[in-house]
């Protein structure tokens, strides 16, 4: 079951390109006070078409094509404003620095900024919602209980952008004990889809009754609540998982193409990170030295692939070297993040010395982010199946880092509950990992580094 996410994303992309073109035409109209001639368009189009591709990539990196951006509007305005200003700066650098370009549209770029902003806001907030608004929401029944089921129901029912609406929610015990009443209710409410936990063996007796009734009546179809949850939230529902999921995904071997391609990307990325690190060293050393005594680097004992031990190298960001995130809560002021360290963490520059770990093969650019040893052991005691996240090589960034929103002021999980959410994202990555997904994560990580806006 889908919410036409891919179709909506393609429509957004196509609409943005159309807006870029229309904005260029209107800019030329305003600039020259006349309908643009074929010659003027021919002078501008080749360069601007190249920029449109770059701008679209910046839109993507800023998260403006994610499916959740379609649903939530409270922060889109700020993101679009930032992105368009960045795009205009990119255009300015392109026209003024790239040789061989016959136009240098200083006035045109200023006009284009305002024209394109007006058109993009009209497209994103008025026309696109009208084009994609469901004509009617499909009534759906849910058989399930738990916080994640309640979370799914609340999310879908509170947002009219989804094409479904949960009209009847019941747990498996009630549905089984009062089966005839359940069937009568969903018929009265014209339910066409029943969402259940199809892989739960304890519900097998109820499944048999439902499937038997469905084949005889043919008035509704079935959907899997896990798949629906993953589609809406991009993470795995931990409370609904059974042993078969863990066995199937923890032993899943990477295809040769993916494994070799991932390693090539890691090496290239590690070399680039190494070059940046070398350039940063004198500036970071001077800033840290001006702030107070302490080493330039730290080496943390962290958990590697299959629970192995490794030492991760980072720029020091805290007053003392031995903090190593010994707990998932603050340490009562004994240790603290320095001002230079806060900047390094905000920009993720403190992570760059880990290029050594990437080139040695201990880390990947993309994968579940590993914990320090002490913290990892404690979390494994608190959270079932936690160590499964180390069945794949850990990474500097991952699916959780680009999706999870932490409590205000946090840049990483600070509680067991936040860590459980991170684990749900990690399991989603383990289940769906691919070279394409790694590229998506890498691009969105760049977005987080430069834009520092909430994930979508």
pLDDT number for residue 368: 94
Beta pairing, strands 193-196 & 138-143: parallel
Cα 309 to Cα 236: distance, rounded to the nearest angstrom: 27
Cα 438 to Cα 447: distance, rounded to the nearest angstrom: 14
- 145: helix, coil or strand? coil
Please state, rounded to an integer, the average pLDDT across all residues of the chain.
Answer: 81
Cα 233 to Cα 52: distance, rounded to the nearest angstrom: 30
- What pLDDT, in 10s, does the model give residues 247-257? 666 555 556 77
pLDDT number for residue 332: 47
- 159: helix, coil or strand? coil
pLDDT number for residue 333: 47
Cα 442 to Cα 454: distance, rounded to the nearest angstrom: 16
Please report, for the chain, the start and end positions of each structural domain, with discontinuous segments joined by +: 5-132, 138-233, 256-451
Cβ-based neighbour number of residue 360 at 10 Å? 10
| Burial tier of 198 (Cβ tally within 10 Å: 0-12, 13-18, 19+) | middle
Over 70: is that where the pLDDT of 212 sits?
yes
Over 50: is that where the pLDDT of 124 sits?
yes
Residue 193: phi and psi, rounded to 5, are -145, 135
Cα 274 to Cα 268: distance, rounded to the nearest angstrom: 10
Beta pairing, strands 138-143 & 164-170: parallel
Cβ-based neighbour number of residue 418 at 10 Å? 18
Of the ranges 179-188, 234-243, 373-382, 438-447, which one carries the lowest mean pLDDT score? 234-243
pLDDT number for residue 222: 80
- pTM strictly above 0.75: no
What mean pLDDT is predicted for residues 15-26? 93
Lookup result for tokens 């067991």: 416
Residue 337: phi and psi, rounded to 5, are -80, 130
pLDDT number for residue 410: 59
Cα 307 to Cα 314: distance, rounded to the nearest angstrom: 20
- Name the CATH topology of 138-233: Rossmann fold (3.40.50)
- What pLDDT, in 10s, does the model give residues 216-233? 767 777 888 888 888 888
Integer CA distances (angstroms), 150 to 190, 212, 415, 418, in order: 22, 27, 22, 18
Residues forming a β-bridge with 217: none
């Amino acid at each position: 079951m889908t919410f036409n996410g891919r179709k909506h994303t393609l429509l957004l992309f196509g609409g943005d390109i159309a807006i870029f073109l229309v904005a260029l035409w209107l800019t030329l109209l305003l600039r020259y006070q006349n309908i643009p001639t074929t010659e003027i368009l021919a002078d501008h189009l080749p360069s601007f078409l190249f920029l449109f591709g770059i701008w679209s990539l910046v839109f993507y990196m800023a998260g403006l094509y994610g499916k959740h951006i379609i649903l939530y509007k409270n922060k889109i305005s700020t993101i679009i404003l930032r992105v368009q200003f960045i795009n205009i700066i990119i255009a300015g650098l392109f026209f003024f620095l790239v040789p061989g370009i016959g136009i240098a549209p200083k006035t045109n770029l200023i006009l284009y900024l305002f024209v394109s902003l007006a058109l993009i806001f009209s497209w994103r907030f008025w026309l696109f919602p009208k084009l994609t608004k469901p004509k009617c929401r499909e009534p759906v029944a849910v058989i399930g209980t738990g916080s994640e089921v309640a979370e799914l129901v609340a999310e879908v029912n509170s947002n009219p952008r989804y094409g479904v609406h949960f009209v009847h929610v019941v747990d498996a015990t009630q549905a089984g004990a009062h089966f005839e009443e359940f069937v009568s209710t969903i018929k009265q409410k014209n339910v066409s889809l029943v969402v259940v936990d199809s892989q739960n063996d304890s519900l097998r007796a109820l499944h048999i009754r439902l499937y038997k009734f469905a084949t005889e009546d043919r008035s509704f179809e079935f959907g899997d609540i896990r798949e629906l949850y993953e589609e809406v939230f991009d993470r795995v529902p931990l409370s609904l998982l059974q042993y078969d999921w863990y066995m199937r995904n923890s032993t899943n071997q990477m295809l040769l193409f993916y494994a070799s391609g991932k390693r090539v990307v890691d090496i290239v990325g590690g070399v680039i990170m190494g070059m940046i690190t070398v350039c940063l060293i004198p500036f970071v050393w001077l800033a840290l030295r001006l702030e107070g005594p302490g080493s330039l680097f730290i080496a943390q004992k962290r958990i590697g692939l299959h629970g192995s031990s490794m030492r991760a190298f980072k720029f020091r960001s805290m007053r003392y070297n031995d903090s190593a995130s010994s707990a998932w809560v603050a340490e009562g002021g004994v240790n603290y993040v320095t001002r230079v360290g806060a900047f390094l963490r905000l920009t993720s520059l403190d992570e760059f010395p880990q290029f050594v770990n990437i080139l040695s093969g201990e880390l990947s650019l993309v994968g579940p982010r590993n914990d320090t040893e002490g913290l990892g052991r404690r979390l494994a005691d608190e959270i079932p199946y936690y160590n499964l996240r180390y069945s794949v090589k850990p990474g500097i960034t991952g699916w959780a880092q680009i999706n999870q929103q932490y409590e205000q002021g946090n840049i990483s999980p600070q509680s067991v509950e936040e860590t459980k959410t991170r684990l749900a994202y990690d399991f989603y990555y383990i289940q769906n990992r691919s070279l394409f997904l790694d590229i998506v994560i890498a691009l969105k990580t760049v977005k987080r580094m430069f834009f520092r806006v909430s994930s979508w």
